[in-house]
Amino acid sequence: MVEVLARFGLDGRLPPSGLTVDSPLEQRHAFAAMSEEGMGAIFDSIANELAAPDGVTTTATTITGIDGNDITLYISRPDEMPGPMPAVLHLHGGAMAINGAADVCYVRLREHLAATGLVVVGVEFRNSSATLGPHPFPAGLHDCASAARWVSENRDELGVSRIVASGESGGGNMTLTLAHKAKREGWVGEMAGFYAQCPYISNRWLDGGDDLPSLYENDGYFISCEQAGLLGSLYDPAGSHADDATCWALAATDEELRGLPPHVISVNELDPLRDEGLLYYRRLLRAGVPAVGRMVAGTCHAGDLLLGGAMPEVFAASIRDVSGFAHSLS
């Protein structure tokens, strides 16, 4: 992993940007656009080192979201489907601000998931900045919910037996906040489970606290708390949704957690966001939610997913875990 990061000068601490969450909005959007362009090129370069699996076909379809907007869905499935299969609704990373489902790294991730016997639906949701923005909360979440309801309504045509939402980083927050939205609106029973990887959920990256020591231990390694705070400020620009569990999952009350379907929370050892994921996992357990916690040792933020070409065994283990969870549910 370190060798791959060193190729791009990312094996040390990230330098400060010179911006704060109080910087002019246009400067923060410019930072997001720069981050998307730079990190996207790096992710795609690394993803191209990972071969596409055999026997998987991907198609695209467009649905109409609850806001009347078009949403592109990328549907990957095995060529041989003996019967209904679990579906994974994949919500890509990027702090809900940058990146897209069509990025090579996410295409490869979905294809490898599909090769394990899954129908995988990638959602091109609206971002709060950059190419697919600016659409702050709740636009992106509305798109994810629209996609989940569409898959549920079309499960027979799609050959789907059950639906699991899964995503990493900002997509991890989308995954967990989708659970809260579904519970509030009365359709959480349509979802079999939720699998969040390195979830970006605390909205406390600039404040810290003794309960989140990884924010200090791992700050600046691949991602920084400053970067997390800047991108987060674009998702909820006025800060008016800080206590809303459908905006930031860690804001959920114990009552909001109770009764949720099974969850898996997977974190990376060397990630600033590690401890917010573990904190959420422990809160799920205390609320009586069937939950499993997982830590990928020796990896940076989403390293097990984005660096598959460099760490194929680690990548394959994470793919197996998501697939195993989806197949285990009824």
Integer angstrom CA distances of residue 135 from 146, 250, 284, 303: 16, 22, 30, 27
pTM of the model: 0.97
Average pLDDT over residues 219-227: 96
- Count of domains forming the chain: 1
Q: Which residues pair with 167 in a beta bridge?
A: 91, 196
pLDDT tens profile 228-265:
999 999 999 999 999 999 999 999 999 999 999 999 99
Residue 213 has pLDDT above 90, yes or no: yes
Q: Is 15 helix (H, G, I), strand (E, B) or coil?
A: coil
Residue 309 has pLDDT above 90, yes or no: no
> Cα angle vertex 284, ends 283, 288, to 5°?
115
pLDDT at 11: 73
pLDDT tens profile 106-133:
999 999 999 999 999 999 999 999 999 9
| Among 34-48, 108-122, 272-286, the least confident range | 34-48
Q: Residue 65 sits in which domain range?
A: 2-328
DSSP 288: T
Residue 4 has pLDDT above 80, yes or no: no
pLDDT at 5: 81
The answer to whether the beta carbons of residues 221 and 198 sit under 8 Å apart is no
Give the residue ranges of DSSP H helices in the chain.
Answer: 2-7, 25-47, 104-114, 139-153, 155-158, 170-185, 214-217, 225-235, 254-257, 274-286, 303-306, 312-328
The rounded distance, in Å, linking the Cα atoms of 237 and 189 is: 32
Q: Which residues pair with 160 in a beta bridge?
A: 85
Task: With cut-offs at 50, 70 and 90, classify the pLDDT of residue 156.
Answer: very high
The answer to whether the beta carbons of residues 31 and 17 sit under 8 Å apart is yes
Instruction: For residue 58, give the CATH number of its domain.
Output: 3.40.50.1820
Average pLDDT over residues 14-20: 91
What's the whole-number average pLDDT of the chain?
A: 96
Nearest to 171 by CA among 194, 190, 187: 194
pLDDT tens profile 69-93:
999 999 999 999 888 999 999 999 9
pLDDT at 208: 81
